[in-house]
Amino acid sequence: MNKIDINVSAVYKTVDADGLKALVPEAIKALDTVDTATGAGNDFLGWVNLPAATPASLIEDIEATAARLRETCEYVVCIGIGGSYLGAKAVIEALSDSFVAYRPSNGHPKVVFAGQNIGEDYMFELMDLLADKKFGIIVISKSGTTTEPAIAFRLLKEQLERKEGKEKVSQLIVAITDAKKGALRQLATEEGYKTFVIDDNVGGRFSVLSPVGLLPIAVAGYDIKALMAGAAEMEKITAQPDENNPALVYALTRNALYRAGKKIEILANYCPKLHYFGEWWKQLYGESEGKDGKGIFPTSVDFTTDLHSMGQWIQEGERTVFETVLTLQQQDHEVLVPTDNANLDGLNFLAGKRIDQVNKMAELGTRIAHVDGGVPNIVVSIPALREQYIGQLIYFFEKACGISGYLLGVNPFNQPGVEAYKKNMFALLEKPGYEKETAAMKARLADQG
Ligand code: PA5
């Protein structure tokens, strides 16, 4: 197996094979709407061709910039939120040693993240960590005006300027933003930072295969050419207008389940390194589909950990859920369960077996139990945690998301709902220009006593 694969046979108790087949023409139409850019949000489809169309010169520029940061920095802080954060975080976590943060440096920088929250202690502790370290910054914001990363950048830029002197910092800061618009573009131009562009037609949550994801991933030491090659394989495969297209199958199956009353999709993994992949996937599907009073609610679990917390709910709670299981075919290391002469824990029946064999049986046992309990399963197999397969997986989910959004009848490429909290936050913080909203907010809060 040299590519990711999908199996939907464990949904047939809820929607049978004929039911799925009946949806194929509708799904092919939705695929065509994505590929011909004829649907709502069609000015945000630049991601569709990123794997095949990204010029080699851009990849080389990203690699050269990453090499410079890798040579000069002990830490590189990636500043960004949402689509300007989760893709890189997900890929780096999937490919990294689980304990990289605690291992001595291998001469290359550790990649850390900021601007993805407004935690005061988080910022204090990060700045404290960096106080005596040589560090660089990759600041990512498509709009260039998002509050969380802007605050983090203001603080870290000031810290870096104090440490290195204003002239030197332009060598240590890279900005990834709009080609022309926004405060970050203006600052980068004024200060002479190296920059990369986020194209107008690539939305944040679809931007991991652009410099937004590629630069941090390259700084962490991973092969972005292989990542893009894997994505390009999937770009080809998911253009097929038939049932051999895994993105089409995934999109139509989850919509068939939704129409049959399964309103919640749980992305389950059995590998701790895939935790952030779930976070990236939740943003991709949540922001793309949750609108107009519709949408499958995307959530994620890390098994077997969460079998000891969410397992009960999934097995016997409200029957409105289905699972998409990310199953990893191959581990990189072999660890066997040892024999213990006393056998007080009664585990000698496992002696000599690989830990992964135990994990795989936990996975199979859980899948069977959940299907028996009324939770249909979609299985997505990943050959191994390698750049090529991660690239395939990213593109597979992105393409399926576009198809699925059109099947659902929404514009998958906008996110009008994320503005509501910002308006209230700015009113509460008395941002200039928000005077009317501030007064209304104060009156409303006073009314509540
Ligand atoms: O997917 C999206 O568009 C959002 O999640 C954005 O990525 C997020 O809000 C960050 O925006 P920006 O890159 O403009 O700072």
pLDDT digits (tens, 9 = 90+) for 203-249: 999 999 999 999 999 999 999 999 999 999 999 999 999 999 999 99
Query: What share of the chain has pLDDT > 70, as a percent?
Result: 100
Nearest partner of 405 among 292, 285, 310, judged by Cα: 285
Helix (H) or strand (E) segment spanning residue 6: strand 5-7
**What is the tens place of the pLDDT at every residue in 114-145?**
999 999 999 999 999 999 999 999 999 998 88
Closest atom of ligand 1 to CA, residue 140: 13
Long-range contacts of 413-421 (CB under 8 A, 24+ apart): 413/40, 413/41, 413/42, 413/44, 413/45, 413/203, 413/206, 413/288, 414/40, 414/41, 414/44, 414/291, 415/203, 415/287, 415/288, 415/291, 416/291, 417/290, 417/291, 418/287
* pLDDT at 449 > cutoff 90: no
- Structure confidence at residue 447 (pLDDT): 86
Instruction: Supply the residue whose CA is at minimum distance from atom 15 of ligand 1.
Output: 141
Identify the pLDDT of residue 1.
63
Which residue of the set 308, 318, 333, 436 is catalytic? 308
Is residue 282 annotated as part of the catalytic site, yes or no? no
**Quick one: pLDDT band at residue 418, thresholds 50, 70, 90?**
confident
Mean predicted confidence (pLDDT) in 79-101 = 97
Report how far residue 420's alpha carbon sits from residue 409's, in angstroms, rounded to the nearest whole number: 23
SS (H, E, C) 113-178: EECCCCCHHHHHHHHHHHCCCCEEEEEEECCCCCHHHHHHHHHHHHHHHHHHCHHHHCCCEEEEEC
Confidence of residue 2 (pLDDT cuts 50, 70, 90): confident
* DSSP one-letter string for 47-90: GGGHHHHS-HHHHHHHHHHHHHHHHH-SEEEEE--GGGTHHHHH
Look at the pTM and tell me if it is higher than 0.75: yes
Ligand 1 center from residue 333 Cα (angstroms): 37
State the average pLDDT over residues 336-364.
98
Angle at 341 between CA 337 and CA 347, to 5 degrees: 40
Helix (H, G, I), strand (E, B) or coil at 379: strand
The amino acid occupying position 71 is E
Q: How far apart are the first and last CA of the chain?
A: 63
pLDDT band at 67 (very low <50, low <70, confident <90, very high): very high
Q: Exactly one of 63, 93, 287, 363 is catalytic; which is it?
A: 287
Helices 275-289 and 387-408: angle between axes, nearest 10 degrees: 20
Protein residues whose CB sits closer than 6 Å to any atom of ligand 1 = 81-84, 141-143, 146, 149, 203-205, 287, 415
Nearest to 80 by CA among 24, 16, 132, 153: 153
- Res 419: pLDDT: 85
Is the torsion defined by CA of 306, 309, 314, 318 positive or negative?
Answer: negative
- Closest atom of ligand 1 relative to the 418 alpha carbon: 9
Residue 189: per-residue pLDDT = 95
Q: How confident is the model at residue 167 (pLDDT cuts 50, 70, 90)?
A: confident
149's CB contacts (< 8 A; 6+ apart) are 79, 80, 81, 84, 114, 115, 116, 139, 140, 141
CA of 205 from ligand 1 middle (Å) equals 7
**pLDDT tens digit sequence for 283-340:** 999 999 999 999 999 999 999 999 999 999 999 999 999 999 999 999 999 999 999 9
Q: To the nearest whole number, what is the mean pLDDT of the chain? A: 96
Q: Are 274 and 305 contacting, i.e. CB atoms less than 8 angstroms apart?
A: no
